[in-house]
Amino acid sequence: MFANKDLIETLSHSKIYQDYEHAFTDATGLPVTLRPVESWQLPHRTRKNENAFCAIMAKRNGSCAACLRTQEQLSQSAQEEAQTVTCFSGMSDTAIPVRSGDQVIGFLQTGQIFQKKPTIGQFNRTAKQLEKWGVDSTQPDLRQAYFATRVVGAKQYGAVVALLGIFAQHLATVSNQLLVQQQNTEPPMITSAKNYISSHQGDALSLGQVAKAVNTSTFYFCKMFKKATGLNFTHYVSRVRIEKAKNLLLNPNLRVSEIAFEVGFQSLTHFNRVFKNITGESPTEYRGEIAVAA
């Protein structure tokens, strides 16, 4: 089977999703994003129709962390059906679960809107909180962006969410088709090995351990894994860990050393070296580029 993250990535690059995203954003003026269940990044960041106020919030650690907490709240509450939450600024965000069988594999998200016209008092309360996070609330573009935010009434927004719910059901069908196609092209042993590696990437994995987990000899597994993936075992595991690390680096509250050990590296020096070999830059440089882009 696909790992959930890989399946969502495949879906997000499919023609059906791309066509729907373009139609949705053009018709509603709102952003839409398909994201995996576990994602430490702001779903609409740099995407078409991203809210200008939210883009400013993403540039500061305190406000960015608050936005990430909102996303975590959505992930936890939208396991059964569409859920809408309101962030500290009074804006609404909505997540609709996308399933493969009975399992939630990701969310369709939209929002960054007001459901009622914002007031001066509401902005002043938001500005007061932003000051605590080190954001200059007197900057003209902040106020302008806040009051330029789309206001979508409850009835219209409910219709938008209903459309995404219908599309989420369609994506569930497409995901099942992808799973069948993938199962027909990749040896079950390799699929099982990838799933095992994904589930145990934080552990001290060895070639023999994974070969044993998929009930084959170390020699045969090594040969078949390289043939199927194009990478030797060590390089594949390193890339899985670095991809996880890149995701975690989007969270400004996590130290690089914490991330290194979380993804399975036993030393910060080794993590830094492998990260640079794969990405061409250090973890700190990578995080810095994200901050600049934000």
pLDDT at 82: 96
Token reading at 39: 């994602």
- Note the pLDDT tens digit of each residue in 2-53: 567 778 888 888 888 999 999 999 999 999 999 998 877 889 988 899 999 9
- Please check whether residue 2 is in contact with residue 182, taking contact to mean a CB–CB distance below 8 angstroms: yes
**E strand or H helix at 246, and its extent?**
helix 233-248
**E strand or H helix at 98, and its extent?**
strand 92-100
Asked whether residue 213 carries a pLDDT value surpassing 90, the answer given is yes
Query: Mean of the pLDDT values across residues 48-60?
Result: 91
Q: For the chain, first and last CA: distance in Å? A: 34
- Please check whether residue 7 is in contact with residue 14, taking contact to mean a CB–CB distance below 8 angstroms: no
Measured CA to CA in angstroms, residue 179 lies from 11, 34, 185, 188, 241 at distances of 11, 18, 10, 12, 23
Arithmetic mean of pLDDT over the chain: 89
Whole-angstrom Cα distance, residue 15 to residue 10?
Answer: 10
Please report the DSSP string for 3-52 in residue order.
-HHHHHHHHHTSHHHHHHHHHHHHHH---EEEEESS--S-TTTTSTT--H
- Note the pLDDT tens digit of each residue in 105-124: 899 999 999 999 999 999 99
Exposed, middle or buried, 173 (CB in 10 Å: 0-12/13-18/19+)? exposed
Choose among 12, 25, 38, 40: nearest CA to 175.
12
Confidence of residue 290 (pLDDT cuts 50, 70, 90): low
pLDDT at 264: 94
- Note the pLDDT tens digit of each residue in 166-202: 999 888 888 767 766 665 667 889 989 999 999 999 9
Question: Strand pairing of 103-113 and 83-86?
Answer: unpaired
pLDDT at 1: 44
Which range, 57-61, 152-156, 191-195, 244-248, has the best average confidence (pLDDT)?
Answer: 152-156
Whole-angstrom Cα distance, residue 147 to residue 21?
Answer: 26
- Please check whether residue 266 is in contact with residue 204, taking contact to mean a CB–CB distance below 8 angstroms: yes
Question: Strand pairing of 92-100 and 83-86?
Answer: antiparallel
